[in-house]
Structure 1
């Protein structure tokens, strides 16, 4: 595979393949002088199967711990609101403060691993995660919940990175992409859906105690796995500089302000809260300053020039666009069914189908994924998304979770068809620059995907809110007593209420209220149908652009042999 490191170039010393605790500690305690650049790490040889399997199981545990931790927050916002005695709008801050360190802190892992070692950072981080998860069991007020969720996001930040490294490091180069990458992405992407499957059973009568205890147990198991299965050490050097803290502070403010804006913006509807626009503008300015600072540094936190190369910009735009498209699944169906009155326990089978379809997609990648097949995988994925979004756009007030099994399975399958090939392209480009770029790409990918998920959810919710208002206005205009259909509907409802509501005026008021509620639900379904159809159009546009790109490449390949310069070179 082009761009990957081959085992023949790797060191074969026994202590490098299976480092003892003393070896790791010696490397941790004896960094290189600050004046020397960090040594270029050589690729590690693959571990034998009997030693690689425990590392892959540890990756599974770490990915599930991180995915469920995030999914428990996003899936149970109403439950958190009821448990803490606040409104749903207020409880949305729990998701915002969790995602801010989750998106920003991984960027510092690039230099932290070089100077301190990722294992030491991971042990401290997961130990902190155990402590704050234990504290979450006892939180009783909203302020303490905010603090605990912020600490949980910070402690969970390295888990996704560790899951990737534990899955990829023990494998041979040809299996890193073919097996390790699809499995790692499957576990990380399925976490939020899996949380929606098991949350109703854990909540039971409405308490969140078992949700917190489950997260605590997974965190403790992850701590044990990281301690018992250390990653192989890399050469260390003092690379953290004072200016890193300024860049990281500005980056954290930029990411944090953007996340808060896109979480709270749809709830306050943007223009109703001027502080959202001010915060978003300040966040963009902070991120612009970070770019300027990093471009003028000899040893930046993020290699902006590499990320700004045409190939990486194209890959980043592709991943970000696809993350926006997938918001249809993470934000669309669950919220529509909640608006229609379905309980979370009635949607568990739907999300179980989504997890199963993701597994099938990962198996398809393991079986047939190759670098030359990436465009074909992406085209098939976009076609599946188009089909799923088109089916969803035909929803009505009678649509239930069981009517979306096929459409949501198509979208989940497409997600796993799209993401591993795209990640493979980026990882090959990273490894061609050197093994040290592997961690850089993984961390940047995790941060941008976390940020992209929040942005996609915010944009999707904003569009739905706007379209709901547009549909509700004409529906309410029709609900007049002089309208024959409305009058007939009111009379029919009053007849149904006659046995339970003896007062005629009260019956009429209740009947009109029920009709207004029905109109609001109808407007909600119509708004989500518009959002699903917009997803279909975006996927269709992306598929058309991809087809045109493939046709252009095909025509260029056909015409290339006829060029005189190419003939001379070939001779």
Structure 2
């Protein structure tokens, strides 16, 4: 956004600048996954159910989604460097508040603040990094940047699990403090003389207010619906009406606004809407299952947070190896082929998980997670290339912001829908299983006899049968969701092929690709 190009950094300044920007990005991406395996511990400590605990994830995601479209306006108003430093500083403060939160409402509020101030960090770290390298090394800069976004989801569950089991869950937030402070000091020291041009632009305050209202109301419906029996609750019905009316009003207002928060005219481009929709639905399915797996392992399979983290961690290993190859070859290979491969592998992984039983061992559960790394590598870069391939360079920041908004919102929806369906299917399966467990039925009498022989009283034996029935019901419910997700991934493949084959890529889409992580 600067009026004249800024000369690239050289020597140690470039090295330290890259490290500082990458550390901030790492911290941000880490916080989207570090809380997943800690949810049962957080929920138990604060006296709420684990499904209510998913608000810790969705509040961050929704606030983050609302903040992302504002990055362009804020960076022009305050300057890229000032905004980045302010964003990281506030992120550190919000992390501290998360750790200190004495109850769930305050933790959710702190997480929402954390998500909101995190909005500008990823696009700005990318912009500042690109300005630090000469054009010839832009690919190297983006490869290094992408590594941090791939390593963080690997370490998130591991770190989160280990910290929860060995220290206490608030420390998953406290660890951001030293990293963030170091990033702020180094970034300011190196980049403060490289500030972008600032200019005062009108803010679409009505559009922003409508955006906050409809996204917030929609998330409220998704999060409280399962506790209030969905549309039998006046609160849920009222929130749903606010979301629908707010969304319609938002669409009407943005179409007539000169400086919209969200540029809806981008949807006139076929590659943009097909790519954005495929990315969003795919990410929503992926993220919903990423939340479900550790919840199931810890609540019904007896895994500790550390063990659940170890199961989740390998997802990034193959992605780390394959992503640079995808990045280098994307100009020569039709990205629609790569995206198709990603969806096929995701479908295979989820089908493998749909075959799990309560007898599944550690290795059996981990194998699909390792394979999933292939899908992750071929998912982000090709789909962002398709999405942005026909967008003029001047509109890429707006397009990148809008597609990111859709993706992050879809992740929050995926989490809520997955946990709700899981509970509903489990209730159904439990009722069906209990029908066959009546005194006099061969299975029931045999189970009681075995448990009595093991020294249990009749009351203890019945309690044990109930526990096993519940475990089996939630296992069957998880299988249903894994299988349905696999089918949905297969149905996304034709959507990718609605897009035109992108021409050989210039810098624009490649530069913006990293922002989709």
TM-score by length of 1: 0.79
Aligned twin of 1:217: 178
Aligned twin of 1:538: 488
Task: Give yes or no for the alignment of 1:490 onto 2:448.
Answer: yes
Task: Give yes or no for the alignment of 1:356 onto 2:317.
Answer: yes
Partners of 1:171 and 1:426 in 2: CA distance: 25
Alignment counterpart, residue 409 of structure 1, candidates 357, 370, 381: 370
- 2:37–2:295 CA contact under 8 A, matched in 1: no
Partners of 1:463 and 1:416 in 2: CA distance: 28
Aligned twin of 2:90: 128
Task: Give yes or no for the alignment of 1:315 onto 2:271.
Answer: no
Aligned twin of 1:441: 399
Aligned twin of 1:394: 355
Farther-moved stretch of structure 1 (393-402 vs 277-286): 277-286
* Partner SS, residue 248 of structure 2: helix
Partners of 1:41 and 1:313 in 2: CA distance: 31
Partners of 1:236 and 1:216 in 2: CA distance: 29
Aligned twin of 1:374: 335
Give the drift of 1:193: 4.4
Name the larger-Rg structure.
1
Aligned twin of 2:21: 59
After superposition, give the CA deviation of every residue in 1:162-185 in whole Å (9 maximum; x if it has no partner).
233244443455764x55555545
* Partner SS, residue 229 of structure 1: helix
Partners of 2:390 and 2:133 in 1: CA distance: 18
Give the drift of 1:142: 4.0
After superposition, give the CA deviation of every residue in 1:357-395 in whole Å (9 maximum; x if it has no partner).
221232332342226430221122122122212211111
Alignment counterpart, residue 149 of structure 2, candidates 188, 203, 207: 188
Aligned twin of 2:293: 333
Partners of 2:329 and 2:104 in 1: CA distance: 49
Give the drift of 1:267: 5.0
Q: What is the CA RMSD across the aligned residues, in angstroms?
A: 2.9
Give the drift of 1:345: 1.4
Partners of 2:267 and 2:144 in 1: CA distance: 25
- 2:154–2:312 CA contact under 8 A, matched in 1: yes
Give the drift of 1:63: 1.6
* Partner SS, residue 376 of structure 1: helix
Give the drift of 1:207: 2.2
Task: Give yes or no for the alignment of 1:265 onto 2:215.
Answer: no
Displaced runs of 4+ in structure 1, greater than 6 A? none
Partners of 1:158 and 1:385 in 2: CA distance: 30
Aligned twin of 1:560: none
Alignment counterpart, residue 304 of structure 1, candidates 258, 261, 264: 264
Give the drift of 1:52: 4.5
Structure 1: gaps spanning 5 or more residues: 1-38, 499-506, 554-571
* Partner SS, residue 342 of structure 1: coil
- 1:63–1:159 CA contact under 8 A, matched in 2: yes
After superposition, give the CA deviation of every residue in 1:186-231 in whole Å (9 maximum; x if it has no partner).
5335534422101232234562343232121222123223313328
Matches within 5 A, 1:435-474: 437-474=395-432
Farther-moved stretch of structure 1 (178-187 vs 63-72): 178-187
- 1:337–1:400 CA contact under 8 A, matched in 2: no
Cα distance change, pair 443–546 in 1 and its aligned pair in 2 (3 A): closer
Task: Give yes or no for the alignment of 1:237 onto 2:199.
Answer: yes
Cα distance change, pair 41–374 in 1 and its aligned pair in 2 (3 A): farther
Give the drift of 1:47: 5.0
* Partner SS, residue 35 of structure 2: helix
- 1:261–1:276 CA contact under 8 A, matched in 2: yes
TM-score by length of 2: 0.87
Partners of 1:517 and 1:543 in 2: CA distance: 40
Partners of 1:443 and 1:412 in 2: CA distance: 25
- 1:361–1:414 CA contact under 8 A, matched in 2: no
